[in-house]
Amino acid sequence: MSSETDREEMDMLAAEYALRLLEGEDLARANALMNSDQDFVRAVEGWTMRLTSLAEDLAPVDPAPSVKRALMRRMFPAMQPTKSFWDRVGPWLGVATAASVALAAALAWQVFSVSVRSPGPLYTAEIASDTNDFRVVAVVDKTANEVFLTRTAGAAPEGRILQVWAHGEGAPAQSVGLWPEGASVRLVLPPEIAAVEGTLTLGVSEEPPGGSPTDAPTGRVFGTADIPNVSVN
């Protein structure tokens, strides 16, 4: 694909794909290119961005207020009973190796044994990406209000670091701290996070060195884990 005509043909196919005009063989060809050709992907992305301005000129139309209520109810059923810890952990226990279960137990024990002063609860959770290329075991120690995290699979891409985030139910997410290197990190929970009661959500993202330049993740969020029934020590 080097001649001018081929490039031209490629770019037109990308535009047609972005417009969703293609059918049959042409669509199959474009779908295959989407999976194999980065130049084609970029061309589709470029056309998608250009064509969006056709929609940007549309005057906004407010949907009925009941639509937002219905959506929020559908997505975050307020009265939904909190899932139990084991329901939550179940899915990953099914695929996790015995070793990683043992690791979580060992980490919990380690954390537990160093914090001998009036021991508060310990909570463990695993943050795993959808594709399982990244996994972190987290132990929240309510005695010291610290979280201890260990990577069991994957790492930040070259030249990037990890950042840990947390929030309570319905509360804004905030940074817990940076994880620039190493297989484990111990971070002190910020006061707002230490005060969370009920479901505590932890997440890990990859960010530029120095952390996210904003107060939210800017890179890939590998995954999150909800720890239900957290109580303040």
Partner 1 sequence: MLFNHEERRIILENNEIETLIGRLALGDTAAFGRLYDLTSGKLFAVCLRVLGQRASAEDAMQDSFVKIWKNADRYRVNGYSPMSWLITIARNTAIDRLRATRPETDLGRYVEFLPAAGLNPEQSAVAASEAARLADCFAELEEDSRAAITGAYLQGDSYKDLSARFGVPLNTMRTWLRRGLMSLRECMSR
What residues line the site for partner 1 (CB under 8 A)? 8, 11-12, 15-16, 19-24, 27-28, 31, 34-35, 38, 41-42, 44-46, 48-64, 67-68, 70-72, 74-76, 165, 167, 169-173, 201, 203, 205, 212, 214-224, 226
Q: Long-range contact list for 4-11, CB < 8 A, 24+ apart? A: 10/39, 10/40, 10/43, 11/43
Q: Which residue has the tokens 């490629």?
A: 10
Instruction: Report in angstroms how near the CB of residue 47 gets to partner 1 at its nearest.
Output: 8
Instruction: Report in angstroms how near the CB of residue 95 gets to partner 1 at its nearest.
Output: 19
| Inter-residue contact 230 to 196 (CB < 8 Å) | yes
Instruction: Report in angstroms how near the CB of residue 126 gets to partner 1 at its nearest.
Output: 15
Nearer to partner 1, 96 or 225 (CB): 225
33 Cβ neighbours under 8 A, 6+ residues apart: 10, 13, 40, 41
Instruction: Report in angstroms how near the CB of residue 129 gets to partner 1 at its nearest.
Output: 9
Nearer to partner 1, 186 or 220 (CB): 220
Nearer to partner 1, 208 or 233 (CB): 208
Taking Cα atoms as reference points, which of 5, 1, 3, 27 lies closest to residue 16? 27
- Please name every residue paired with 25 in a beta bridge, in sequence order, or none if there are none: none
